[in-house]
Amino acid sequence: MTFIVKWELTGTAETGYVLNKTHEELHGNDVLNELQRLVDGRIEVITYIDGAVFLMNEEAVINGMPAWAVKEDHELYKYVPEHFTVNDQKVLVGPVVMCSDDGIEFSGFKSIKECKEVLHIK
Q: pLDDT digit string (tens) for 48-103?
A: 999 999 999 999 999 999 999 999 999 999 999 999 999 999 999 999 999 999 99
pTM of the entire structure?
0.89
Q: What pLDDT shows up at residue 116? A: 87
Cβ atoms within 10 Å of 19's Cβ, excluding its own: 17
Residues 6+ apart with CB under 8 A from 94: 8, 39, 40, 56, 57, 60, 63, 65, 66
Strand duo 2-12 + 16-26: pairing:
antiparallel
CA-CA-CA-CA torsion sign (116, 52, 55, 77): positive
Per-residue pLDDT, averaged over 44-51, amounts to 92
Q: Is the pLDDT confidence value at 43 over 90?
A: yes
**Can you tell me the distance from the alpha carbon of 65 to that of 74, in angstroms, rounded to the nearest whole number?**
20
Q: For residue 46, list its beta bridge partners.
A: none
The number of distinct structural domains making up the chain is 1
Q: What pLDDT shows up at residue 96? A: 96
**Can you tell me the distance from the alpha carbon of 116 to that of 35, in angstroms, rounded to the nearest whole number?**
19
Q: Which of 103, 100, 104 is nearest to 117 (CA)?
A: 100
pLDDT band at 121 (very low <50, low <70, confident <90, very high): low
Q: Is the pLDDT confidence value at 122 over 70?
A: no
Per-residue pLDDT, averaged over 106-112, amounts to 93
Domain that holds residue 38: 2-119
